Structure 1
Amino acid sequence: MNFPEPLLQGRLIRRYKRFLADVRLPDGTEVTAHCPNTGSMLGCQPENARVWLSDSNNPKRKLKYTWELVETGPGQLACVNTARPNAQAREAIEAGRVPELAGYDGCRSEVRYGEEKSRIDLLLSGHPSQPDAWVEVKNVTLAEGHEGFFPDAVTTRGQKHLRELMAQVARGDRAVLFFVVNHTAIEEVRPADHIDARYGQLLREAVEAGVEVVAYRAELASDGGDPTGRLALGEPVPVNLVP
């Protein structure tokens, strides 16, 4: 998948009130963009960083622009729009680019399930020989060197999702944690034990209980480090659960 329109480049002035970001455009104009990310965005908001915005082309929208990408370091890009990963994962699965989840002919989004009243990101069905697969999608943008970490803040919601996935395995279905690696520097994904030790513990318990974990990197940048406009998932990334 691609961004529907070319992105507008600017420089980050500040992010504030969680959902707002002030950006200076090349002509010196300052605009306020929507920041579609509820997380800490640790490492993804360097002062004066190059950022890229999408234009809603909707005159009724209060904020015309949406913050999509940020340059976190020389030649390193991250997608901070957390509305993107579900669509990225779904497209890759339906296009057959995720061998672990091949063979399903049905896919539904935001299906209610579980005793803790959750919604699964993707529910795959209709496989000739496999049970339904409950797929929880997570966006990975926290990079420390070439290691990627999830989460970037303590997440009780993420802990709940792991418990729900384990319960689905106990019922006889497949359950999959799908890391969408939206940072070009990341070559390996690890649980962020130094940020949320309980999440890391639960993730390892989930894998022991039969929850599957996959990770795929987005094709965000060209060899020169500039955005390609492509959000498609390409190569798999290893997941390292060793403490």
Structure 2
Amino acid sequence: MRFQTPLIPAVLIRRYKRFLADVRLMDGQEVTAHCPNPGSMMGLADPGLPVWLEPNDDPKKKLKYGLRLIEVDDALVGVDTGAANRVLRESLNVGEIPGLTGYDRVLPEQKYGTGSRIDFLLQGAGRRDAYVEVKSVTLSRRPGLAEFPDSVTARGTKHLGELAAMVDRGHRAVLVYLVQRTDCATVSVAADIDPAYAAAFATAKEAGVEVLCLSCAISSERIDVLGTLPYETAPAGRR
């Protein structure tokens, strides 16, 4: 996924109200950028961190910059949660995701469950429908380990139950953890942050929900799926 416009460097001053971030551009000008991430952004919101912004000239948008990347200890982290779906869709469309190839149709945002939408419904002749839910992973509290979630997510817990219900109806259900950071080699659930999510995750896996962890290649020009990562079954947390 190529960014629509070239990113420009800046320095984070503060992130607040979840969706706002004050930053300092390289010329010293201070501006407010849109922060497209509803999570806690634990470890990614410290003042002084280098960031990368995407400018826009849309007259309908009040904020002229969007926060896209943050640099932490020489690693790049993609903080736009919406980008995860766009990145994965590009790879699904060209059949690059292991275990999710051979489908003729990639249908985004399909209704299912109770008032929910699945990120992608994959359909193909002679194949079971595959319901694919994507989670953007940015948290890392231990070197090399990516964790999800970074805050309590009742919505995420609900999705796990709905994925398990799809398996019960004879379909495939795949939970994709897309790790939007360049310094992680394994993935796990942050059970200490959201015990209810961790319990629902274990139940979903036992019911047959598949878990697929993917790494990303990230630069100031684009974000692309790089490969698969192993899932660490032991509960994550501070060790």
Interval containing the TM-score (normalised by the shorter chain): over 0.9
Q: Deviations over 1:151-202 (max 9, x none)?
A: 0001110000000000000000000001111011111000001101121121
1:86 match: 85
What pairs with 1:75-154 in structure 2 (closer than 5 Å)?
75-114=74-113, 116-126=114-124, 128-144=125-141, 145-154=143-152
Secondary structure of 1:100's aligned partner? coil
More off after superposition, 52-61 vs 135-144: 52-61
The runs of 4+ residues in structure 1 deviating greater than 2 Å are none
Tell me which residue corresponds to 2:202. 204
Say whether residues 1:235 and 2:227 are aligned partners.
Answer: yes
Give distance in 2, aligned partners of 1:22 and 1:201.
37
- Greater strand share, structure number: 2
Indicate whether 1:34 and 2:34 are aligned: yes
Deviations 1:117-155 (A, max 9, x none): 1110111112x3320000000000001211010000011
- Distance across 2 between alignment mates of 1:60 and 1:129: 46
Q: Distance in 2 between the 1:241 and 1:229 partners?
A: 34
**Structure 2 CA distance for aligned equivalents of residues 240 and 82 of structure 1:** 22
What RMSD in Å do the two structures reach over aligned CA positions? 1.1
Structure 1 SS opposite 2:44: coil
Q: Aligned with 1:232: secondary structure?
A: strand
- Equivalent residue, structure 2, for 1:54: 54
Is contact 2:5-2:56 (8 Å) kept?
A: no
Q: Distance in 2 between matches of 1:241 and 1:44?
A: 25
**1:13 alignment partner in structure 2:** 13
The alignment's TM-score, normalised by the length of structure 2, stands at 0.95
Structure 2 counterpart SS, 1:98: coil
Aligned to 2:64: 64
CA distance in 1 between partners of 2:95 and 2:33 (Å): 35
Per-residue CA deviation, residues 6-57 of structure 1 (Å, 9 max, x unaligned), is 1010000001111110010010000100011111111111221000000122
1:192 — aligned with what? 190
Q: Which residue of 1 aligns with 2:160?
A: 162
Contact 1:140 1:151 in 2 (8 A): yes
In 2, the alpha carbon distance for the partners of 1:33 and 1:219 equals 24
CA distance 1:228–1:31, shift in 2 (3 Å) = closer
TM-score w.r.t. the length of structure 1 is 0.93
Q: Which amino acid aligns with 1:134?
A: Y
Q: 1:199 & 1:143 partners in 2: Cα distance? A: 17
- For residue 206 of structure 1, give the secondary structure of its aligned residue in structure 2: helix
The structural deviation recorded for 1:228 is: 4.4
Name whichever of 92-101 and 208-217 sits farther off: 92-101
Unaligned runs of 5+ in 1: 221-226
Which residue of structure 2 aligns with residue 219 of structure 1? 217
Instruction: Give, in angstroms, the shift of residue 107 of structure 1.
Output: 1.1
Percent identical pairs in the alignment equals: 47
Range that drifts further, 90-99 or 32-41: 90-99
